[in-house]
Every structure is written in structure tokens, then in C-alpha cells.
Amino acid sequence: MVKLGVNIDHIASIRNLRLGKLPSPVQAAEIVESAGAAGITVHLREDRRHINDGDVITLRKSVKTKLNLEMSVAPDIVQFALNILPDDVCFVPEKRRELTTEGGLDLRSDMSRMRKIIGKLKSKNVRVSVFIDPVADQIRAAKDIDADFVELHTGKYAESFTAGSYKRELKRLTDAAGLALSLGLGLNAGHGLDYNNVCPIAAINGMNELNIGYSIICDAVFAGLFESVVKMKKLIENPGKY
Ligand code: PXP
């Protein structure tokens, strides 16, 4: 069965609007786990715009399923990962001004450094994944640098799904998935997946895990909004009673 990893970055995005403690990523992780997710994913960005170091340290202790840390290869972040030892690390490219991760890594650009970093993490039993576009040469490079998994970038697929013609992007992902599996790499995918577009991706042969964040957090807001308004209305209409 395909596993669900839930990215809870945007719980921290909301918390940071008021620089306070709520909503708590730790509480979010508990709910996500109790709902049956296989793991918690967080992206420690270089500018710490949502999840921060303290969150990751606390989650490392509280998460009972597994903690997947998405990160760049910036030396201080690599050192942080070597200190806290998440269960999984997923390397992603990072540009300061992007709203979210825009494309996959170019693994060919820095093979020896990547191989060295991956070796260090794997020697401490951290599983390593690399976030790449569904391109054959990148998948072969992932094998060359000894990654355990590829996480295929589904962003273009998600955009094409919205535009109404996703068959070509789905084929690229399916072909890339087949190549990854034939090379002995584990197969994950994510980015832009939502309740409408997820099924064709979940049905790809050999898919291990999907990492999904934004659409779940957006859905959760509306799933809970009705009850939250009723709860507040009850209090202010009968203040003496509570
Ligand atoms: N996987 C990776 C590597 C990501 O960078 C992200 C976004 O942080 C996701 C999955 C989740 O994407 P989304 O929030 O669009 O579901």
C-alpha cells in the first residue's frame, strides 16, 4: 500500500504570523499520526520561514512514526541533520525567493559533494532521498551518488492536471518510476498533489510514499471552520454559562 507522509510546514507558517506558539506543529503531528499517516515531513528552509530548528528538535522526540527532513545541502543544515538524525532526509534545491520548491535537484552539478554527504548520513542510519524531476539522467545520477530513494517532483504533473491534459506528464513520471525501480532505488513522489490529482500518481507501480502538505492543510481549514465558529458563537452568546 502506498504510504502517506504529511508535510506540516504550513502549520508553522500560520503560527509564525503572530510569532506565537499556536497552532503547534507538534500537536499537528500528533493528529496526523493518529489519523494514520506513515510519517511527518518538514522542510527546514535556509531562511526558517516556517519550520525552525526548535520545531525539528521537538518533533524528533515526539514523532512516533518517522520524521522526514527536507533540506538543502547548505553545510549548517547538513550538520544540523547529522546532529538530530531524522529517520529520512530528502535533499531539495532551494532558492531564497521561491514560494515553494520550484524544480528538482540537478544532481550532476555536484556529484562528489552529494555522494560524501549522503555517505555520512547513511553511515548514521538516515535514509536519503533526492527530489528530482522525472528525467532519466537524474535518476541514474541518484543511483550513482548512492541515494536510497528518489522523490519524483510531481509539480508539473499537478499543473498539467489543472490545465486538463496530464497524460504526457503522467507518462514521464511512470517511465521515471520504472527506471528508478529497475536500478534498485526506492520510489517516492510529491509536490502539488491534491484530492483531485493524487490517484493516478498513487497508482504508479512500485510507489512507496507520497509527501503531501499544502492541499491537506487547506482542506483541514475548511473541514474544521464550521465547528470552530459554532464553538465561539456558543461562548459569546452565553458568557455566563461557561
Ligand atoms: N515533497 C517535497 C520535496 C517538497 O519540497 C514539498 C513542498 O515542501 C512537498 C513534497 C509537498 O508539496 P505540497 O505542499 O505541494 O503538497
Q: What are the residue ranges spanned by the domains of the chain? A: 3-241
Q: Is the CB of 70 under 6 A from ligand 1?
A: yes
Inform me whether the pLDDT recorded for 120 exceeds 80: yes
Ligand 1 binding pocket mutation candidate from 7, 68, 77 (most atoms within 8 A of CB) = 7
Q: Is the pLDDT of residue 102 over 80?
A: no
Are residues 175 and 206 in contact, defined by beta-carbon separation less than 8 angstroms?
Answer: no
pLDDT beyond 70 at 97: no
Ligand 1, atom nearest to 70 Cα: 3
Tell me what the mean pLDDT of segment 59-78 comes to: 97
Whether 191 is a known active-site residue: answer yes
Q: Is the pLDDT assigned to residue 96 strictly greater than 70?
A: no
| Annotated catalytic residue within 10, 33, 70, 153 | 70
Residue owning the nearest CA to atom 5 of ligand 1:
101
Quick one: pLDDT at residue 240? 86
Q: Which atom of ligand 1 is nearest to the CA of 217?
A: 14
Q: What percentage of residues in the chain have a pLDDT greater than 70?
A: 98
| CATH 3.20.20.70 is right for the domain spanning 3-241 | yes
- pTM score: 0.95
Rounded distance from Cα 89 to ligand 1 centre (Å): 13
